[in-house]
Amino acid sequence: MSGLELALSGFGLMLLAIFLRVPIAAAMFGAGFIGTWIVLGRPSATLSQMKTLTYDTFSSYSLTIVPLFLLMGQFATKSGMSAALFQAASDWLGHRKGGVAMAAVGACAGFGAVCGSSLATASTMGQVALPEMRKRGYSDALSTGVLAAGGTLGILIPPSIILVIYAILTEQNIVKLFVAALIPGLLAALGYMLTVAIYVRIKPGSGPVAERKPIAERLRTLVRVWPVVVIFVLVMGGIAADWNWAMPGVQALFTPTEGAAVGAIATGLYGVATRTLNWAAFKLSILETAQASAMIFLIVFGAQVFNSFLAFTQAPQALAEWVTVQGFAPMTVLLAMLLCYLAFGCVMDSLSMILLTVPIFFPIVETLDFGMSAEATAIWFGILALIVVEVGLITPPVGMNLFIINQVDRDIPISQTYRGVLPFVASDLVRVVLLLAFPSITLWLVGVMF
């Protein structure tokens, strides 16, 4: 059996295990371990490889950024930032048709700036905004659909846990990836708001108009969201690799990992100062961060074992050579990869998709000529992959965010959520087409800042 055939067999075994509801980390580890055993031929060599791989994976300094950003998100949740963001956005937009739904999108974008997790954003904002929208007479479909879609902004608006993992896998600059995600993230939020505006005009009763708040009250609620702005600027501004474009001679204040630590501390201090983060909430934040970090690290280790098996088979290199020999147009190959992400989104979570596919797809992407530098291609592909993974989070029938929102209010049938999210999926696909057609949308800000 050739290396490529062995790799395909291992991939099939892993997918079968996932379909049988084996945890994804265990499925990747099992397929990778068995495959490595077959390739090396000796149990002792395989176990020795596992020992080395375990140390190499968990001693990585870059991975320390993950629990720190998760902790920042936990502190933001417990400190009531989500409620303040939604209240401010609702006061400014609620008097428009579908304005409260648009406010939910804006609040999700703001919360995503201090929380790198889509599931956490969807869950937190769902608890804050869903009861309010239902109270104001919004349809169940629009209410749940917009919150499921808005939750995806948690991994698109930097900082993003998925982009951190992508940067580690492809050895790219984390800060440049964060900067590249800003404009696509803002486009996503604007696209969702436009979708709401169209939705409520097609179905007028789905998004009633709320009372217009006095300007003085709107300004007061706007002032309450200053901590989010300060923390975002502190973290993103502090880790910028080179500010010479704006302030000559001023370099980065701290590394991305240090920036994550500063963000977590600043968010925690805000919670303490406002007395919203008490001792019980602090302990719960630490516990939930540890649980989420353990889950992510276990998936990372399982993926590393499977990817090590792929490296022994030389399958990624063989596949890249095959694509080159076939002479496919670069855009055709890229479209095929993005379609694979959409298909995987039906059975896998976003982190698992990135960990599993990037070691296979990225060597192929490196061989394709899109008329730009290798670094620009890597950044562009990373943002495209992130967005398509994000679409998988809200694609029926098994999008993770759909179930998260449905858990917030079990009285709403999941079929209503499916129906309500489809217009937002269409908005995402339009955005993917735009970013494919115009890579400069993604790369312009990186070029300006670096």
pLDDT digits (tens, 9 = 90+) for 307-343: 888 888 887 778 778 887 887 888 999 999 998 888 7
With vertex at residue 383, the alpha carbon angle to CA 176 and CA 64, rounded to the nearest 5 degrees, is: 55
Q: Which one-letter DSSP state was computed for residue 242?
A: B
- For residues 98 and 200, the answer to whether their CB atoms sit within 8 Å is yes
Residues near 130 by beta carbon (within 8 Å), at least 6 away in sequence: 143, 144, 147, 405, 408, 409
CA-based nearest residue to 74, from 222, 229, 276: 276
- Say what the pLDDT of residue 146 is: 93
Work out the end-to-end distance of the chain between its first and last CA atoms, rounded to an integer number of angstroms. Answer: 47
Q: Tell me the C-alpha to C-alpha distance, in Å, between residue 441 and each of 323, 383, 425.
A: 27, 11, 20
- Say what the pLDDT of residue 1 is: 63
The separation between CA 339 and the C-alpha centre of its own chain, rounded to angstroms, equals 18
- Would you say the C-alpha torsion 240, 242, 245, 249 has a positive or negative sign? positive
Spatial separation of the C-alpha atoms in residues 103 and 87, rounded to whole Å? 8
Spatial separation of the C-alpha atoms in residues 78 and 119, rounded to whole Å? 15
Tokens linked to 139: 């349809």
The separation between CA 189 and the C-alpha centre of its own chain, rounded to angstroms, equals 14
Q: What is the pLDDT of residues 360-415, one digit of tens each?
A: 899 889 888 888 999 999 999 999 999 998 888 888 777 778 888 888 887 888 88
What pTM did the predictor assign?
Answer: 0.87
Spatial separation of the C-alpha atoms in residues 189 and 183, rounded to whole Å? 10
Comparing 73-87, 190-204, 223-237, 248-262, which segment has the lowest mean pLDDT? 248-262
Q: Which conformational region is residue 158 in: left (phi greater than 0), alpha (psi within -120 to 50 degrees), or beta?
A: beta
Name the one residue in this structure whose structure tokens are 């169209």: 198
For the ranges 137-146, 152-161, 216-225, the maximum mean pLDDT occurs at 137-146
